[in-house]
Structure 1
Amino acid sequence: MLGAWIVALGLAAGGCTRERPVSWQGYAEGEFVYLASSQSGTLAQLSVHRGQELAAGATVFALESTYETAALAQAVQQLSAARAQLADISSGKRPPEVNVTKAQLAQAVANARKAAQQLARDEAQYRAGGIAKAQLDDSRALADASAAQVRELTNQVAVARLPARAQQIGAQKAQVEAAQASVEEAQWKLDQKRVVAAQAGIVYDTLYRIGEWVQAGNPVVQMLPPQNVKVRFFVPEPVVGGLVAGRKVMVHCDGCAADVPATITYVSREAEYTPPVIYSNETRAKLVFMVEARPAVADAAKLHPGQPVEVRLR
């Protein structure tokens, strides 16, 4: 009977001294995203408020863009003019202009035919002794001049149908490309006046009010995407050797309905002194190693930056 009692007391003592799972102190942290424009301007539209959940692609804010809109319109008109000039020099003269030269050519052909006939008559008269040598020379000169004019106008008609020289066309093509680049630049500057969320997240703060001047690069909205939530905790030197990226942990926080699973993503290679904000009666070592773990995106909303947590291995 006494032996059974001793056994029972031993079992009870063993049950009371069962060790709790080892846990480490830490805190939740957020890697905030600061939304800004590369251009300066007056804040004309603020489409979000603190605490709002944003979807990817949602408009966040817009700056006044009168100047950029006018600059884009001007660049588009300059591009249109450059393209029209390129088309003009690539197609030769207009048909009415070519028709004028053709009419001049037809008149020259008629004059040349008449001069040739007159030359033939004068040559016959000269052989018969009816005209002087000087008159024959005049007829021959007139026939030669008329024939030369026909050749000139024939070449002018051919040239009128030709486009501009290759060098001129190349230069104008370069002008078109430069105008196209100006349009793209103006469009980019206009687009920069309207900022959208590149990814989903929660708005943590708005830093300007409508009507205020915003310098280029100054953040207007501070937001936190769920994938940017992480947990930092600190472990003693004897433990750090067994922790590697990819290992699963459980995160406990006050008020959480259940522990949050997370995955270790980073283990520091350098020791540091225990942070003053970390209090643990179970930690005896002065030096600890920082470890980072990230929860799944679906669980990120359960943790809040700055919130104290306890982390244990799964």
Structure 2
Amino acid sequence: MLVVGAVVLLGVIAYTAYYFLHSRYFEETDDAYVASDMVQINSEVSGTVISVGVDNTQQVTRGQTLIELDPADAQIAVAAAEAELARSVRNVRALFSRSSGLKSVINARQIALQSARNDLQRRMKVAAEGGVSAEELQHSKDQVAQLEAALATSSEELETNNAQVENTTIANHPQVLSAAASLRQASLALKRTRIVAPVSGAVARRNVEIGSRIAAGTPLLAVVPLENAWVDANFKEVQLEHMRVGQPVEVHSDMYGKDVTYHGKIAGLGAGSGAAFALLPPQNASGNWIKIVQRVPVRIALDPKELAKNPLRLGLSMHVEVDMHNTDGSLVATQIRTAPQQLIANGEHDSDLNVKIADIIKNNSGGVKPAASGVL
């Protein structure tokens, strides 16, 4: 009995020493799973699928062509937009030319009016002596009135025309800018018939086939950037007392077993328990209430080099052990991502399109860039 008692006592002492020197600084859980971003690929324009270049599980790189739509309709729209831009340039050019022509007409009518007024003055002097008939004098007065009216009409026409072209050139006239914007939009729609991978990753959830007629916004597939995967570990609320952002973590995957160890750190603690964000949250304000220990998701950021060497997949089960020796960290994460995640998007502006627009304007403006026009 003494021997048994001594063994039990030694066991208690050993366990107590192990707990206070090591075990109490660690928390672990098997309720942990791999997670990552899932970039949804949608069509931004409607069209018929003529090519699908990828399939599920395939690794793709940023900028790689995934799907192509029939570009015929978009090409026709671009051609129509180019013709509309050329027509707008010629219309605006005609406005500038009309202003110049109206100025010449006004100048000629001013000269004619001054000459008619001089003739009327001479006839009025002669008429006082009876040298000109009353009918001829009235005819001269009518001619002056007609020229004054014609001059006023031309001046109004010039003001109206100048209101459309003043302080502009052909290149920056509103009509031309509007037509150029329409061409950019049509060119952008043509670009969007070629759908590229916005990020590098693995293809998943592909549900598009060749020949399908799709509408804008239709989900086609997803790209999962596995190099940015993390682990969501669901710890009991009683395990979170000493957990802090930045504490080191060791992670093992059921896929690779104990031979592969991932080293990471706590990136952040969830804003609430899993039950709080469930589709149907529990209603605790009832007569029959049973306390249930809640679990809070804790995000574990993994070492990118280790992750590249031994890639993980979404949803894999993980074993997580947190080292809580250092409790100086914060309970609230200020920044999870070190850099914002950016996607490849079809830009509205590119150098080739700008050159094409400039050529269309130049070829249809008669080689002349009119200066800004003011009101006469």
Which amino acid in 1 is paired with 2:229? V
Gap change, CA 1:104 and 1:181, over 3 Å in 2: closer
Kept in 1, the 8 Å contact 2:81–2:186? The answer is: yes
Two-structure CA RMSD over aligned residues (Å): 4.5
Q: Give runs of aligned pairs for residues 165-176 of structure 1, distance below 5 A.
A: 166=163
Who is 2:302 aligned against? Answer: 295
**Alignment partners' CA distance in 1, 2:245 and 2:54:** 36
Give the 3 Å change call, closer, same or farther, for CA 212–142 of structure 1 in structure 2.
closer
- Alignment check: 8 A CA contact 1:90 1:169 kept: no
Letter in 2 for 1:292: R
Counterpart in 2 of 1:196? 196
**One-letter amino acid of the counterpart of residue 29, structure 2:** W
Q: In 2 relative to 1, CA 90–162 (structure 1 residues): closer, same or farther, beyond 3 Å?
A: farther
What is the CA–CA distance in structure 2 between the aligned matches of 1:46 and 1:53, rounded to whole Å? 14
> Equivalent residue of 2:301, what SS?
strand
Q: Is 1:141 matched up with 2:141?
A: no
Identical pairs, percent: 19
Give CA-to-partner distance per residue, 1:10-30, whole Å, 9 cap, x none. 8xxx7xx97887642133233
Equivalent residue for 1:309? 318
Q: In structure 2, give the amino acid aligned to 1:313.
A: V
- Secondary structure of 2:273's counterpart equals strand
Q: CA deviation at 1:196?
A: 2.4
Q: TM-score by structure 2 length?
A: 0.57
In the aligned structure 2, how far is the partner of 1:300 from the partner of 1:184?
Answer: 42
Cα distance in 2 for residues equivalent to 1:290 and 1:68: 47
User: Take 2:198 and 2:166, find their aligned partners in 1: how far apart are those partners?
Assistant: 43
Structure with larger Rg = 1
Stretch deviating more after TM superposition (189-198 or 19-28): 19-28
State yes or no: 1:252 paired with 2:242. no
String of CA shifts for 1:52-98, please: whole Å, max 9, x gaps.
43333333222223223322332343344345434433553454x76
Structure number with higher strand proportion: 1
Pair 1:309–1:109, CA change in 2 (3 A): closer
In the alignment, what sits opposite 1:214? Answer: 214
Q: Which residue of 1 aligns with 2:231?
A: 231
Measured after TM superposition, the shift of residue 137 of structure 1 is: 1.9
Distance in 1 (CA, whole Å) between partners of 2:252 and 2:66 is: 34
Per the alignment, residue 280 of structure 1 pairs with: none
Instruction: State the one-letter code of the partner of 1:312.
Output: E
How far residue 37 of structure 1 moved from its aligned partner, in angstroms, is: 0.8
Distance 2:44 2:268 in 1: 33
Q: Is the 8 A contact 1:116 1:143 kept in 2?
A: no
- The residue that corresponds to 1:45 in the other structure is 51
Partner of 1:243: helix, strand, or coil?
coil
- Secondary structure of 1:164's partner? helix
Structure 1 unaligned spans of 5+: 1-5, 273-284
SS in 2 for 1:207: coil
- Deviations 1:165-204, CA, capped at 9 Å, x for gaps: 638989xx77666655544543443343332222222223
| TM-score, normalised by the number of residues in structure 1 | 0.66
Shift of 1:113: 6.4
Q: Following the alignment from structure 1 to structure 2, what is the Cα–Cα distance between the partners of residues 100 and 306? A: 81
Q: Unaligned stretches of 5+ in structure 2? A: 1-5, 168-172, 276-291, 324-376
Equivalent residue for 2:42?
A: 36
CA distance in 2, matches of 1:118, 1:270: 105
Structure 2 counterpart of 1:270, from 243, 250, 273:
273
CA contact (8 A) 2:199 2:223 kept: no
